Amino acid sequence: MSICIIPARGGSKRIPRKNVKLFCGKPIIEWTIAAAQSAGIFERIIVSTDDVEIMDTVIPMGVEAPFQRPQNLSDDFATTIDVMAHAVNTLGLDNDCAVCCLYATAPFLQPEKLAIGPNKLNHADFAMSVTSYAFPIQRALRANSLDQIEMINPEQFITRSQDLEEYFHDAGQFYWAKASSWSAGKSIFEGKVAGVPLPRSRVQDIDTHEDWELAEAMFRTLGLG
């Protein structure tokens, strides 16, 4: 049994009404919901929101909004872990149920990548979307107190790029865990974590208006909408 929970609060600050703002002609959450539905792995897709307008927007898309999230879990200080624990406990899910936390602002989501997550839980406590850094982080630079640029790891200056270890960062699309892990409020990195690598061309943070404009341009260039 697999359940998808999409956190979507109404009070986003940097991009007002972010979760239902039109992205390439549709509310951005609609692109995420469509990808989750296309994955064909979820018995239920549930939106966790504090906002009645968001409820009214998503229910016609074929998903559930069976509860209204309390305000103390909808402010700027509420964590994803807190929101997921509340949803799992409110729904009374079985401990072994595979539960995906899927961000509402993930228009580049690939259903086939999302579907990899449950199998990763056979040998990990969490599975999360990741992507590789575009430039070797071993060659990172910083400005010192004299405003001069210096290498953080100067010993790596002559190492060939192909000989440097590849590093990844959170792609910010989805996180899988058993219901018991979410319910207990466990931090993702408390246990074993498996990565689901995504191509860099399908990853874009959308936190500012500039991010939004870039994401829409990428989306159109890729022919996704």
Residue 92 has pLDDT above 90, yes or no: yes
At residue 161 the predicted structure's pLDDT band, cuts being 50, 70 and 90, is very high
Residue 179 has pLDDT above 80, yes or no: yes
Average of per-residue pLDDT values in the chain: 96
Contacting residues for 117 by C-beta, under 8 A, at least 6 apart: 98, 100, 127, 174, 176, 196
Read off φ and ψ for residue 126, nearest 5 degrees: -135, 155
Residue 178 has pLDDT above 80, yes or no: yes
Residue 109 in contact with residue 13, Cβ under 8 Å? Answer: no
Contacting residues for 151 by C-beta, under 8 A, at least 6 apart: 139, 140, 141, 157
Residue 173 has pLDDT above 80, yes or no: yes
149 falls within a domain: no
Continuous segment of H or E residues that includes residue 131 = strand 126-132
CA angle 25, 111, 104 (to 5 degrees): 50
At residue 168 the predicted structure's pLDDT band, cuts being 50, 70 and 90, is very high
What average pLDDT score do residues 123-152 get? Answer: 96
Residue 4 has pLDDT above 90, yes or no: yes
**For residue 5, which of 69, 53, 51 has the smallest C-alpha distance?**
69
At residue 61 the predicted structure's pLDDT band, cuts being 50, 70 and 90, is very high
Range of the domain at 51: 2-130+171-221
As a whole number of Å, the CA-based R_g of the chain is 19
- Distance (Å) of CA 154 to CA 143, 148, 150, 157, 163: 14, 14, 8, 5, 15
Q: Give me the residue label for tokens 């192909």.
A: 162
Read off φ and ψ for residue 206, nearest 5 degrees: -125, 85
Residue length of the chain: 225
What average pLDDT score do residues 9-26 get? Answer: 95
Give the whole-angstrom CA distance, residue 148 versus residue 128. 37
164 falls within a domain: no
pLDDT at 67: 97
At residue 225 the predicted structure's pLDDT band, cuts being 50, 70 and 90, is confident
Q: Pull the structure tokens for residue 120.
A: 């990763």
Count of other CB atoms within 10 angstroms of residue 57: 19
Q: Which CATH number fits the domain that encloses residue 71?
A: 3.90.550.10
pLDDT at 123: 96
What average pLDDT score do residues 41-60 get? Answer: 97
pTM of the predicted model as reported, rounded to 2 decimal places? 0.95
Strands 168-178 vs 149-151: parallel, antiparallel or unpaired: unpaired
209 falls within a domain: yes
56 falls within a domain: yes
161 falls within a domain: no
Q: What total number of domains does the chain contain?
A: 1
Residue 104 in contact with residue 8, Cβ under 8 Å? Answer: yes
pLDDT at 209: 96
142 falls within a domain: no
